[in-house]
Amino acid sequence: MTKAYPIKGKVCVSCAARAERLIAALPGVESARVNALTKKMTLQAAPDRFPDLALAADRILRREEDGACLVIGQ
């Protein structure tokens, strides 16, 4: 299952690349893409892993880039 989350705040492209590597390395993540140009993160994982993995990705993103975070809706 693949889900996309908008990213709020400024994202520098090299921070995005680094965040992407770290998020892709999270256990349970099949693939991850942090797109600084469209300000969107795409996450592929098993459906039951979703809220947790999105939150973990958000933590990584916040650490890698000041003032950036994911918009995690319903």
Partner 1 sequence: MKIPLRVPAALALLLASLIIRGPAWLPGALAVTAYALSGYDVLWRALRNITRGRVFDENFLMSLATVGAIIIGEYAEAAAVMIFYQVGEFFQDYAVDRSRGAIADAMDLRPQSARILREGQEMAVSPGEARVGDTLLLRPGERVPLDGVILSGDTTLDTAALTGEAMPREAGPGDAILSGTVNLTGVLTVRVSHSFEQSTVSRILEMVENATDKKSRQEAFITRFSAVYTPVVVVLALLLAFVPPLVVPGAVLSDWAYRALNFLVVSCPCALVVSVPLTFFAGIGGASRAGILVKGASYLETLAEASTFVFDKTGTLTQGTFTVGKAVAAKGSGEELLRLAALAERHSNHPIARSVLKAWNQPMEEESGEVRELPGGGVIAEIGSRHVLAGNARMLASHGVEVPESSAHGTLVHLAADGEYLGYLAISDLVKPCARQALGKLRREGIEELVMLTGDTEQAGRAAAEGLDISQVHTGLMPQDKVAKVEELMARPNRKGRLVFAGDGVNDAPVLARADVGFAMGALGTDAAIEAADIVIMNDDPCKMASALRIARRTVLIARQNAGFAIGVKFLVLALSVFGLSTLWMAVLADVGVTVLAVLNAMRALTLRREDKACACELKPGALAA
Residue 39 or 49: the one with the smaller Cβ distance to partner 1 is 39
Angle at the Cα of 14 (from 11 to 17), degrees rounded to 5?
A: 90
What are the distances in angstroms from CA 65 to CA 1, 5, 9, 30, 58? 26, 16, 9, 23, 10
Residues 3-62 binding partner 1 (CB under 8 A) are 4, 10, 12-15, 17-18, 20-21, 33, 35-40, 42
Residue 24 or 72: the one with the smaller Cβ distance to partner 1 is 24
**Residue ranges binding partner 1 (CB under 8 A):** 4, 10, 12-15, 17-18, 20-21, 33, 35-40, 42, 63-64, 66
